[in-house]
Structure 1
């Protein structure tokens, strides 16, 4: 994978490095965020979930406008501004004593990361030919998983030194990437506005609503994200209900490790083979693996069975995420790539809803019904993917 990344132009490598470092900075604060909110703002577990989930939802909605800015301004300007906001938000989070200000900081952190992510995707499409994009999308996703695997360990080590260090180090990483991008980022790159009219955001939103393929794929992505977006949350909920808190913690640690190792080991190997001309077969294969994994979870009676089911489940994740990127790339007009990727980012709404839906199922139905609801979500996602791909020459076999 590293050898493949070295082949790319300096601008592609810089985009990969920027998304990796900012994702790492975000991951560093993850293990302490729940504790920090409980200790400093006296929130209970439901209040903490509302804060973290609410910040993600608001940021996902606002990222649609971030995508519009990427289409109308220089990517250089947007990335510099986003990394500065990212840095400032972490510093504000440290000094804030008001819960509302801390919530705004969380929104800005998630928003800035989402906007840089969208800018990177649009940049890859502008800098690379079509047949090389699946490979770079896979590299980016693998690096993101490496960041989320390493970041929490760094955060735990920093907490032992000082309570505020995770936030300060994350702010420092954001500032470093801002300075590096200011020095080596491509300043001349500008959205190609000659391909379409320079319309306002509301007009662009109207165009998006008329694109049936985008709407279907956004809905499919949201329904898929219900399943894989925060799987650790609903699996923890299920295991706590069906066993004990200590047993749930032990199982989840093995399942997270299985997921991380599988993604890091196989994402690039599988993802680079996803063809833009055969996206629907790939997506259906990913959906089938999700179904098999969820059935495995519903039947698992031992740790080994859980880990095997997680392995199958993760293979579905490895396929679906880059395939979604490739589909949006295939339907997005050149002058609207940013806002199309911003629309795809709305799938995070599904990730935020997953634990809520599963919590309801665990409270009012038999525990195993959780997985049957998730299987239903996968089937609906596959249907919307099919409807979105139908009639698109780049995705049908």
Structure 2
């Protein structure tokens, strides 16, 4: 019992609220968004490139909004930005239940991306604000594990609802976000949150952008992550269409692959993160890029359950290495007064989440799915160049002890 109390005591109560909320909210979201491309294909008879554009609107707006949301959280406080984002997300998902045209889906998915881009960097910055530096890597890993606990259940429920009542899944997700917002509001009002250090030294959004632009390690991290995300986002956008066209029960296989992906992350995230701590964050990301590219390459030869499962295992290993390492690297790079802005700037990597569905959809319309995955694999491997360059800058900066401007 004492060990449990000690473990729980490592983090502020708000951190645990955010982790539990992440499980429920992401679990609900994974019931809907991974199946959005299938829903649009079946119910609106849209070509793959238009579906890719619709799905890609969320990460496109996340790219635009991430830096702004992170900066606003530095200037006006984490609470206001987080709560406004969650309440708006609830409205967005309720909106999906009544949307009847492509334009509404594009608008709602754009708002979804914008709100998530405000909430995600702000919640990560808040976790860093109220967590001891020695425990932050563990907090980020727990957060990523929480995302995937939700993702391990959501796709299975989503596969059932996609075949029966897709609009019900949107309503459930909207209700979950609404309850999350209410509970978080209650705890934020009742609990004492340490004052943000950022408030002592604020800069304008233009100056913050200039400071971040000069950080070459961050720039290389974002550029490499854009290429990685072009590959990774195929999992939610063009892979389900590829499987449905090539395999019997493609949607069922797709939902099982998502659950395999999530369960692997839940089980392996902490042990692999422990091993990865012995290396530089960029080095872990290099290895992750190779695994992810191998998984994408495997999908080009998918012929049944075995090849599909083997490919998702490789891709998941890459995912586990890349994404938590990215968060801890941004935390290391960020000055205290710009932590929210830095996490927001990290959202620029979601340019890849926008380009991926559109590029993949275009290729899927003009070439065989196998060729599409070959091209995406090469693009993903291009991240190695940027991560290698970023690793050199990162090591040089750390060793020299240069303070960022």
CA contact (8 A) 1:38 1:44 kept: yes
- Normalised by the size of structure 2, how large is the TM-score? 0.83
Q: Which residue of 1 aligns with 2:122?
A: 119
After superposition, where does 1:1-397 map in structure 2 within 5 Å?
7-30=10-33, 33-34=36-37, 37=40, 46-95=49-98, 100-155=103-158, 164-185=167-188, 186=191, 188-193=193-198, 196=201, 198-236=202-240, 238=242, 244-246=246-248, 248-249=250-251, 251-275=253-277, 278-297=280-299, 303-361=305-363, 368-393=370-395
- Pair 1:93–1:252, CA change in 2 (3 A): closer
> What TM-score results when the alignment is normalised by the length of structure 1?
0.84
For 2:81 and 2:239, locate their aligned partners in 1 and report how far apart those are by CA, in whole Å.
37
Deviates more, 1:91-100 or 1:342-351: 91-100
- Where 1:311 maps in the other structure, the secondary structure is helix
**CA shift in 2, pair 1:25/1:366, >3 Å:** closer
Question: Could you say what secondary structure the match of 1:336 adopts?
Answer: helix
Give the Cα–Cα distance (whole angstroms) in 1 for the partners of residues 101 and 303 of structure 2.
Answer: 46
Correspondence for 2:402 = none
1:239-263 deviation line (CA, Å, top 9, x unaligned): 567xx35265465455334323322
State the Cα deviation string for residues 243-284 of structure 1 (Å, max 9, x = none). x35265465455334323322221222124432862233222
Q: Give ranges in structure 2 of 5+ residues lacking alignment.
A: 400-405
Is the 1:64–1:343 Cα contact (8 Å) retained in structure 2?
A: yes
Q: How many residues align?
A: 394
Shift of the alpha carbon at 1:384? Answer: 0.8
Which whole-Å CA distance do the structure 2 matches of 1:307 and 1:64 have between them? 36
Q: 1:80 to 1:314 in 2, by over 3 A?
A: same
- Classify 1:94/1:12 alpha carbon distance in 2 versus 1 (closer, same or farther; 3 Å): same
Q: In terms of mean alpha carbon deviation, does 340-349 or 198-207 score higher?
A: 198-207
| Displacement of 1:220 | 0.7
Q: How far off is 1:82 after superposition? A: 1.4
Checking the alignment, whether the CA contact within 8 Å between 2:159 and 2:252 is kept in structure 1 is no
Evaluate the alpha carbon distance shift between residue 28 and residue 280 of structure 1 in structure 2; reply closer, same or farther with a 3 A threshold. closer
Pairwise CA distance, 1:305: 3.8
CA contact (8 A) 1:292 1:309 kept: yes
Contact 2:151-2:258 within 8 A present in 1 as well: no
Structure 1 residues 22 and 60, CA gap change in structure 2 (3 angstroms): farther
Return the offset for 1:68.
1.1
CA deviation string 1:30-58 (max 9, x = no partner): 36645765788675554433222223312
Task: Provide closer, same or farther for how the CA distance between residues 316 and 152 of structure 1 changes in structure 2, counting only shifts above 3 A.
Answer: closer
The answer to whether the 8 A contact 2:26-2:151 is kept is yes
Q: RMSD between aligned alpha carbons? A: 3.5
Match of 2:403 in 1: none
Once the two structures are superposed, residues 217-255 of structure 1 have per-residue CA deviations (whole angstroms, 9 ceiling, x without a partner) of 1111111111223335444455567xx352654654553
